[in-house]
Chain A
Amino acid sequence: KAGVTQTPRYLIKTRGQQVTLSCSPISGHRSVSWYQQTPGQGLQFLFEYFSETQRNKGNFPGRFSGRQFSNSRSEMNVSTLELGDSALYLCASSSWEDYIGELFFGEGSRLTVL
């Protein structure tokens, strides 16, 4: 069974640009969640989607947005990039409808903002 796939793995952007990250969950998993990982802040929850609906959202500004498609694939978008957005963005999928946290993670998309 293929794992969670995130693309691109690495990307470099400049301040003010926008970026879209993609995540393909494990086949059959309908819950997809996104996390930001930085050395200073650790793992921070961004949002979670289930069957195309955002069920939960973390404490991030509106520049961070996401969506989920009918095939459970998900994208997240960050607009007007800031230096502080440099981070590893992790996607995780779950087969649990109730989202009780048994997550399978991708390898992440490492974003560098210059």
Chain B
Amino acid sequence: AQSVSQHNHHVILSEAASLELGCNYSYGGTVNLFWYVQYPGQHLQLLLKYFSGDPLVKGIKGFEAEFIKSKFSFNLRKPSVQWSDTAEYFCAVNARHQLIWGAGTKLIIKP
């Protein structure tokens, strides 16, 4: 069965630290990959997506992610986090017309 694994459930960083959130998926076919973010009290919103082409994709608010097909990974990165990045981050894979979600990573940025 298809699955998405996010390695860290909770991450605490100080402002200006670098961020990398891991995401691995299991699905052998063509996939579309996503990172969604849920800020406190707000709805889920798309952070970035990969459909095809350049495996390094850039999203909103300075986030980027790299698709490594051989590792079935789609890790999210940001060089310098801000307090406003405190949120829950979800990796998702679209396979066979449904989204399969990771468990989410709660990110807390200490000011």
Contacts and interface: CB of A to CB of B under 8 A. Distances in A.
Contacts of A64: none
Interface in B27-46: 32, 34, 36, 42-46
Interface string B56-92: 0000000000000000000000000000000000101
Interface in A81-96: 90, 92
Contacts of A114: none
Interface in A72-114: 90, 92, 98-108
A42 B43 contact: no
B43 A101 contact: no
Contacts of A103: 36, 44, 46, 99
Contacts of B42: 107
Contacts of B94: 99-101
Size class of the contact patch on chain B: 20 to 34
A101 B101 contact: no
B contact patch SS: strand
Given A42-B103, A55-B97, A108 B34 contact: no
Interface residues of A, number: 25
A90 B49 CA distance: 20
Given A100-B32, A101-B92, A102-B49, A45 B98 contact: yes
A53 B32 CA distance: 23
Interface in A35-94: 35, 42-45, 48, 55-56, 58, 90, 92
Contacts of A42: 90, 101-104
B103 to A, nearest CB: 5
Nearest to B90: A43
Interface in A1-59: 3-4, 33, 35, 42-45, 48, 55-56, 58
Interface of A: 3-4, 33, 35, 42-45, 48, 55-56, 58, 90, 92, 98-108
